[in-house]
Chain A
Amino acid sequence: MTISVADVEHVARLARLELSDEEKNLFAGQMGAILGYVEKLKELNTEGILPTSHAVPMENAFREDAVSPSIGIEKALANAPDRVESFYRVPKVIE
């Protein structure tokens, strides 16, 4: 399977990644090989087979709607790269 540098650039945009030219060429080849390998799944007839999203069948996991302690603002913001008062600060969103 062939993956072009343009394909790589498109996927990188979706994934919010910026790749060097070297990485783009590397990934084009490697993604082509890996996606070529997974083509083998097409050998199998899966008509009427339901997809599995979780291995253990589960009902909805409900809990009591009760108030319990949370970690609080200071702890929640302790790892913030940039903060103002009780907020995360980020670069300007709207020009």
Chain B
Amino acid sequence: MELFDLSIRELHSKLKSKEVSSVEATGAMLARIESVEPQIGSFITVTPGQAMADAEAADKRIASGEMDLLTGIPLALKDIFLTEGIRTTCGSRILSNFVPPYSATAYEKLKEQGVVLLGKLNQDEFAMGSSNESSAFGMVRNPWDTTRIPGGSSGGSASAVAARQATATLGTDTGGSIRQPASHCGCVGLKPTYGRVSRYGVIAYASSLDQVGPLTRDVTDCAIMLGALAGHDPKDSTSVNTPVPDYAAALTGDVKGLRIGLPKEYFIEGLDPDVQTAMSQAIETYRRMGAEFVDISLPHTDYAVATYYLIATAEASSNLARYDGVRFGHRAEEAANLLDMYVKSRSQGFGVEVKRRIMIGTYALSSGYYDAYYVKAQKVRTLIMRDFIRAFEGVDVILTPVAPTPAFKIGEKVNDPLQMYLSDIFTIPVNLAGTCALSVPAGFSADGLPIGLQLIGKPFGEETILRAAHAFEQATEWHTRKAVI
């Protein structure tokens, strides 16, 4: 076992016992990044200087006995998190020279524990995509099969965990952007409840849906990371002021009597047979452990993708209006006047998927269409939320696939945006409902591609889905398999 193979929990215990130093672990990770990065492309920016300085500071802190669970752990962040003094691009040409003057709260909280920052991870431009093919900094390849996509938009966050280029990473999830790449890369990925983690300093895509979460080697690490990230932040007015439980303490291994809902709308024809098999085996595993299954219905599921692509694009068109070339980011040269400068800066700076979504969103918000599209979608969102409220009256957790298929081929859906959007069919409803869900490894396809299981919880029910996922992990060995790279 190499140092870069260790989980947070394993590395923490070696750091604590002084068996290894953070400088050693960080050095091993930087060497690993250098050796596999040409094949994968997880990073937009690697920060070796910052990493070694962080590691030295962590070793001093460990020597003084003031150690937290994440002290000295080498992590990497999706390039959507502002990092003071370190370039932050959000995968876009328009921010290719942007060096933030302050850091995201999520990163500040990790820094308080003394983490090591390895760098900034590749992603779809402005988090818009399901395949990481829309990044202005090149595609990311799936460590399990480099002819395939890693998922998106947090593609680099998932591939870096799977290729052991970081002990854990942070991503964001607006319509599945943590869970879908976690599923495709065989790691654990959690989208917490809306409001659970501060979004201050996280570049906005669709503000009523965006949420921050971890991608990790296993469920225990996921619980550790969530514990570090969760909590109220006065700088984010949408962060919720409810107590943060001890998530690691929730991992009891006991799911006896847990009521798990199976929504009939998620087990449809067209589901990949290998995904279907993985789900059936997972259900059998839970049954053996004493969980109870309940057939449920989420009747508006079929309307979720349409609802999402109106709400998310409308909010994006508004959020991305700030990129005008005035205060930061790319400014076009030789503009005839101010308006021309806005238009040229934006048209040169944004990629095709971002332009497409701004266009759809602008259309949906434009005079004459606002009620028919945007308000209609917000009303259907209410119906989708009610589906979940009703379902959770009778169950503790909902079990579904994360994605209808394993990772698809690079280029396969790039010319058909609607097909690309439909690959998020099982993750999008959770964002619309604002609740929490995670992806945990649950098997492999005949081609050796990872398949994730989605567990959806009640709002602020992260403890329950972590407990259920952890119990599953104890009973299976899927999470122990490593991509050969």
A positions within 8 Å CB-CB of B: 7-8, 11-12, 14-19, 23, 26-27, 30-31, 33-35, 37-38, 40-44, 46, 49-56, 58, 61, 63, 71, 75-76, 78-82, 88, 90-93, 95
Question: How far does the alpha carbon of A69 sit from the alpha carbon of B157 in the complex, in Å?
Answer: 33
B positions within 8 Å CB-CB of A: 97-99, 101-102, 193-195, 208-209, 234, 237-238, 240, 300, 302-303, 305-307, 309-310, 317, 321, 324-331, 335-344, 346-347, 350, 352, 355-356, 358-360, 362-363, 366, 373, 375-383, 385, 417-418, 421, 431-435, 459
Asked if B347 and A54 sit within 8 Å, CB to CB, the answer is no
Interface CB pairs A-B, < 8 A, 9: A14-B362, A15-B317, A19-B355, A38-B309, A40-B306, A58-B238, A79-B99, A79-B101, A90-B341
Asked if A49 and B382 sit within 8 Å, CB to CB, the answer is yes
Residue on B nearest A7 in the bound complex, by CB: B363
Question: How far does the alpha carbon of A93 sit from the alpha carbon of B97 in the complex, in Å?
Answer: 25
A51 with B341: in contact, given A12-B359, A46-B383 (CB under 8 Å)? no
| Interface of B, helix, strand, loop or mixed by DSSP | helix
Asked if B101 and A34 sit within 8 Å, CB to CB, the answer is no
Question: How far does the alpha carbon of A95 sit from the alpha carbon of B340 in the complex, in Å?
Answer: 13
Asked if B376 and A41 sit within 8 Å, CB to CB, the answer is yes
**Known contacts A15-B359, A18-B344, A82-B331; can you find 6 more A-B pairs with CB under 8 A?**
A17-B359, A38-B310, A41-B306, A52-B385, A79-B327, A81-B328
A-B pairs, top 9 by smallest CB distance, nearest first, are A55-B434, A51-B378, A79-B328, A81-B331, A61-B237, A46-B379, A75-B101, A38-B306, A15-B362
Q: Which of B193, B208, B363, B434 contacts A11, CB < 8 Å?
A: B363
B-chain residues with CB within 8 Å of residue A71 when the two chains form the complex: 101-102
Question: How far does the alpha carbon of A33 sit from the alpha carbon of B151 in the complex, in Å?
Answer: 23
B29 to chain A, nearest CB (A): 30
A91 with B341: in contact, given A12-B359, A15-B359, A40-B306 (CB under 8 Å)? yes
A-chain residues with CB within 8 Å of residue B362 when the two chains form the complex: 11, 14-15
B362 to chain A, nearest CB (A): 4
A32 to chain B, nearest CB (A): 11
Asked if A34 and B309 sit within 8 Å, CB to CB, the answer is yes
Question: How far does the alpha carbon of A8 sit from the alpha carbon of B180 in the complex, in Å?
Answer: 32
Question: How far does the alpha carbon of A22 sit from the alpha carbon of B346 in the complex, in Å?
Answer: 17
A3 to chain B, nearest CB (A): 8
Question: How far does the alpha carbon of A43 sit from the alpha carbon of B346 in the complex, in Å?
Answer: 36
Q: Which of B342, B383, B385, B417 contacts A55, CB < 8 Å?
A: B385
B42 to chain A, nearest CB (A): 26
Asked if B343 and A55 sit within 8 Å, CB to CB, the answer is no
B-chain residues with CB within 8 Å of residue A78 when the two chains form the complex: 99, 101
Question: How far does the alpha carbon of A17 sit from the alpha carbon of B321 in the complex, in Å?
Answer: 11
A27 with B432: in contact, given A41-B307, A49-B383 (CB under 8 Å)? no
B-chain residues with CB within 8 Å of residue A50 when the two chains form the complex: 379, 382
Question: How far does the alpha carbon of A81 sit from the alpha carbon of B435 in the complex, in Å?
Answer: 40
Q: Which of B98, B193, B417 contacts A34, CB < 8 Å?
A: B417
A-chain residues with CB within 8 Å of residue B356 when the two chains form the complex: 27, 30-31
Asked if A92 and B346 sit within 8 Å, CB to CB, the answer is no
Residue on B nearest A78 in the bound complex, by CB: B101
Asked if B98 and A92 sit within 8 Å, CB to CB, the answer is no
Question: How far does the alpha carbon of A55 sit from the alpha carbon of B340 in the complex, in Å?
Answer: 38
Asked if A52 and B381 sit within 8 Å, CB to CB, the answer is yes
Question: How far does the alpha carbon of A37 sit from the alpha carbon of B302 in the complex, in Å?
Answer: 11
A84 to chain B, nearest CB (A): 13
A-chain residues with CB within 8 Å of residue B208 when the two chains form the complex: 53-55
Asked if A31 and B363 sit within 8 Å, CB to CB, the answer is yes
Asked if B347 and A19 sit within 8 Å, CB to CB, the answer is yes
A56 with B434: in contact, given A37-B306, A81-B325, A91-B336 (CB under 8 Å)? yes
Residue on B nearest A36 in the bound complex, by CB: B418
Asked if A16 and B346 sit within 8 Å, CB to CB, the answer is yes
B268 to chain A, nearest CB (A): 16
Question: How far does the alpha carbon of A49 sit from the alpha carbon of B97 in the complex, in Å?
Answer: 45
A2 to chain B, nearest CB (A): 13
Asked if A92 and B432 sit within 8 Å, CB to CB, the answer is no
B-chain residues with CB within 8 Å of residue A43 when the two chains form the complex: 303
